[in-house]
A and B are shown apart, each in its own frame.
Chain A
Amino acid sequence: MSLTDHDLIARTLADDDRHAFSELVRRHQSAVRAFLRRLTCGQHALADDLAQETLLEAYRHLAKYRGPSGFDTWLLGIAYNRFRSARRRACETVEWTEQIADHAPTTSFTATEDLKQDLAQALMHLSSDEQAAIHLCFAEGLSHQQAADVLGSPLGTVKTHILRAKETLRVQLRAWAPHFSSKGQP
């Protein structure tokens, strides 16, 4: 029987059990890295550095974790704070924008792949708060309330981010709308 996250956390806290913590890292690394890759617009190296910082911070502050929100939600919250700190350090400078532009996907294959590429590019035009809200609610499947917990924002703000983001995406991807309204599925 596999141990729950709470069991592993308890073992890590009680005995400084490194195997338990490594299992936690192994379980959640994909979600954390994917979230940060989204926020950094596909800069894998930067995202992985931030993910590493996130997990080290989680280890240091594991005793502060309170169960109800879920460990993955707690981790994503730390990841988002790490991302914001990194962005603040970069001061949202030209370099940051240029790095993001350099990593924009360029190749396309099929209609579905084309949509994915266009969507990825359109997502880059959103603010990082909007990107985070969209990723958490659609890709990670979190509820609006959980996303609000992760982002440390009021529920209403998260809903506004999602509405605005979808409005922007709808405009950016308007060429795709007739394609899907006629075919139904991508």
Chain B
Amino acid sequence: MKPHSDDHSEHPSRPEDNWLDRALQDSASDYIADAGFTAQVMSFLPAPRRKFAWRRPALIGGATVLGCLLAFLLGGSPLTASLRHAFQWVAEESTRPIASSPFNALIITTLVFSGLVSWLALSKAAR
């Protein structure tokens, strides 16, 4: 029980009521042991919020876009050159109806590919 407030002097008890005041003060419950109550409350809390949850998908998506661009711009070895030609061919063929030039086709394909990878990363992070 907490220390009793002096505020009851606002309503001074009649002398014959002293016993009642004491009885009421004594009626305070003893300390109630926790007995697993706190653990039960904690188990019902919502899942902890993740700080900077946006960082991971942003990093994955950004790295993907950057990697695509670097591979496209800097690829000079025979292997990367052939991969570049293969990618260019796929891009041109798949976007022929909508792209006016091979360069536009590459940009559209790169954006679609990056978007797809970013969407996969975001949906994985959300899970």
A90 at the interface (CB under 8 A from B): no
Interface string of A122-140 (1 = CB under 8 A from B): 0100000000001001111
A186 contacts which chain B residues (CB < 8 A)?
19, 22-23, 26
A150 at the interface (CB under 8 A from B): no
B45 at the interface (CB under 8 A from A): yes
Interface string of A144-165 (1 = CB under 8 A from B): 1110000000000001001100
A142 at the interface (CB under 8 A from B): yes
A143 at the interface (CB under 8 A from B): yes
Q: Do A29 and B38 contact each other (CB < 8 Å), given the known contacts A137-B8, A145-B7? A: yes
One of B28-36, B53-61, B104-112, B119-127 contacting the partner: B28-36
Taking a contact as CB atoms under 8 Å apart, the answer to whether A181 and B5 are in contact is: no
Q: Do A34 and B28 contact each other (CB < 8 Å), given the known contacts A55-B41, A140-B2? A: yes
A177 contacts which chain B residues (CB < 8 A)?
16, 19
Closest residue of A by beta carbon distance from B18: A180
Taking a contact as CB atoms under 8 Å apart, the answer to whether B19 and A176 are in contact is: yes
Q: Do A144 and B20 contact each other (CB < 8 Å), given the known contacts A30-B32, A138-B25? A: no
Taking a contact as CB atoms under 8 Å apart, the answer to whether B19 and A138 are in contact is: no
Closest residue of A by beta carbon distance from B8: A137
A173 at the interface (CB under 8 A from B): yes
Taking the nearest CB of chain B, how far is it from the CB of A103, in angstroms? 14
Size category of the B interface is 35 or more
B48 at the interface (CB under 8 A from A): yes
Taking a contact as CB atoms under 8 Å apart, the answer to whether A18 and B1 are in contact is: no
Taking a contact as CB atoms under 8 Å apart, the answer to whether B45 and A59 are in contact is: yes
A171 to B121, alpha carbons, bound, how many Å?
Answer: 73
Q: List 20 A-B contacts (CB under 8 A).
A: A16-B48, A29-B32, A29-B37, A34-B32, A51-B37, A52-B44, A116-B27, A137-B7, A138-B21, A138-B24, A138-B28, A139-B27, A141-B4, A142-B5, A146-B5, A159-B11, A162-B11, A163-B11, A166-B20, A181-B16
Closest 9 CB pairs of A and B: A143-B7, A139-B28, A180-B19, A141-B2, A138-B24, A34-B29, A30-B32, A25-B38, A143-B5
